[in-house]
Structure 1
Amino acid sequence: MNPLVLIPARLAATRLPDKPLLDIHGLPMIVHVLKRAQEADVGPVAVATDTPAIADAVRDHGGLAVMTGTHHASGSDRIHEALGRLDPDGRHDVLVNVQGDLPTISPGAVRASLQPMADVEVSLATLIAGIREEADRTASHVVKFIGTALGGGRHRALYFTRATAPWGDGVLWHHIGLYAWRRTALDRFVALPPSPLEQREKLEQLRALEAGMRIDAMEVAEVPLGVDTPADLEKARRMLAPGAAA
């Protein structure tokens, strides 16, 4: 494999305006995500954005940024355009999509997402972690992964849902929205129309499953903090404070 890591970022958040540029201990949040991705050391890293201020912040801290259109409906569409701009000759066969609001993502989690891609039957790979909080078992904002364990912490995806599933005793898996894409699969995915279950559950990955693409997931120990609110931002600042426990 010859992976490329792409971080989509824009200034569209309403609950936390200018989210990617908000300060966390002297660095914009998007730069923290960039640094975690670089520390994973799996390949080149770039930020894909439609906002000059985000690109400037990334470049000011030595990172690579690529400008994309403002019309994209999802991060997958944005990284697809960025990939074409950065690598028109197709040298990179795997793309890792790291969300730009995950400043606490661990480098190990980024690396873990690539493990299933050694299997040529896997179109894309993602991450899961066991749900520990009782409230998260029924929360609709916590996406649950349903799949078949393959051993070694790897699972084959059967479904993703906002409902509490599967029924019965056992672990419930929290899906983490970080994806490793085979380039050919991403090309196919962005050309497909939104699927019925994708529209019903508001989960983009169901388009891939409905189209027959294989998704595998790797277990990781923790769910990274997604920053969506001012309270999340303050928590991220505490977690990333100098001397804070990892």
Structure 2
Amino acid sequence: MHSIGIIPARYASTRLPGKPLVDLAGKSMIQRVVEQARLAALDRVVVATDDQRILDHVLGFGGEAVLTRPDHPSGTDRVWEAYQQLGQPADCVVNIQGDEPFIQPAQINALIDLFADADTQIATLVKQVISQEELFSPHLPKVVLGAQREALYFSRHPIPYLRQYPSMSWLDHHRFLRHIGLYAYRPTVLQQLTRLAPDALELAESLEQLRWLAHGFRIRTAETDLATHGIDTPDDVQRALRQLQNEF
């Protein structure tokens, strides 16, 4: 099984400009992501960026990076361009979020393992919802699965709707799952995904994966009990620093 991890990293960010280069206790965020990804069962880890500063920084700490177009509408498109530049075939390509410095190698490996089945097209992670805050947060998409643990639908609203119970007691009556935004794809499927037009469901929920489902692609899932902490704001940076301090 030959797998490549690609980390899309844009410089521009509305809430945190230059996010990949933010210092987290002596290392940049992108360096921490790269170091974590290198611990997984990946044959290669590459940063795909639109900015020369990020490219130079990654090369400076011994990482691998490629420069991609600045106008990609999504990280998926940036990952595909980077994969084409590499010129190296793979059984699966893992899209690793560049703003999750605490990503765990086991989470990446869980997705890679799903590609031992030749029928796997796309893979992603899910995690059990354990709090009311998680369940009702629109920033943490929820997902429902079919019998084969393939995603049926993703939503920013809690799904399914338990009509017979008050909403504040839903966690007592159903095992809800949230989506963790780590993806892996067959390269041939990844190419097809970049050619799809936005779908009405995707536009309604602002969730790219709904475009894939609407066009008939299958998304298999692996479950993790490991937490992830994306960094989008200065407050998130402070929380990450506190977590790093607790680890040392």
- Aligned twin of 2:108: 110
SS of 1:240 mapped into structure 2: helix
The CA RMSD measured in Å over matched residues stands at 1.3
- Aligned twin of 2:20: 20
The amino acid across from 1:61 in the alignment is: F
Contact 1:11 1:51 in 2 (8 A): yes
Runs of 4+ deviating beyond 4 Å: none
Q: Using the aligned pairs only, state the percent identity.
A: 41
C-alpha distance in 1, partners of 2:97/2:59? Answer: 18
The amino acid across from 2:141 in the alignment is: V
1:207/1:40 Cα in 2 relative to 1: closer, same or farther (>3 Å)?
same
Correspondence list, 1:22-171, <5 A: 22-87=22-87, 90-150=88-148, 155-168=149-162, 169-171=173-175
Q: TM-score, normalization: structure 1?
A: 0.93
Q: CA deviation at 1:115?
A: 2.1
The amino acid across from 1:124 in the alignment is: I
Confirm whether residue 244 of structure 1 aligns to residue 238 of structure 2. no
| Gap runs ≥5 in structure 1 | none
Q: TM-score, normalization: structure 2?
A: 0.92
C-alpha distance in 2, partners of 1:190/1:181? Answer: 12
- Aligned twin of 1:188: 192
Q: CA deviation at 1:191?
A: 0.8
Contact 2:91 2:115 in 1 (8 A): no
Contact 1:138 1:164 in 2 (8 A): yes
Aligned residues: 238
C-alpha distance in 2, partners of 1:229/1:215? Answer: 30
C-alpha distance in 2, partners of 1:223/1:195? Answer: 30
Q: CA deviation at 1:120?
A: 2.0
* Deviation larger for 43-52 or 135-144: 135-144
C-alpha distance in 2, partners of 1:42/1:71? Answer: 28
Contact 1:104 1:240 in 2 (8 A): no
Contact 1:176 1:223 in 2 (8 A): no
Q: CA deviation at 1:149?
A: 4.8
- Select the residue among 200, 209, 233 that pairs with 2:237: 233
Q: CA deviation at 1:79?
A: 0.6
Contact 1:76 1:190 in 2 (8 A): yes
- Aligned twin of 1:209: 213
The amino acid across from 1:65 in the alignment is: A
- Aligned twin of 2:178: 174
| Gap runs ≥5 in structure 2 | 163-172
Q: CA deviation at 1:135?
A: 1.6
C-alpha distance in 2, partners of 1:116/1:157? Answer: 14
The amino acid across from 1:160 in the alignment is: F
* Deviation larger for 229-238 or 26-35: 229-238
C-alpha distance in 2, partners of 1:91/1:10? Answer: 25
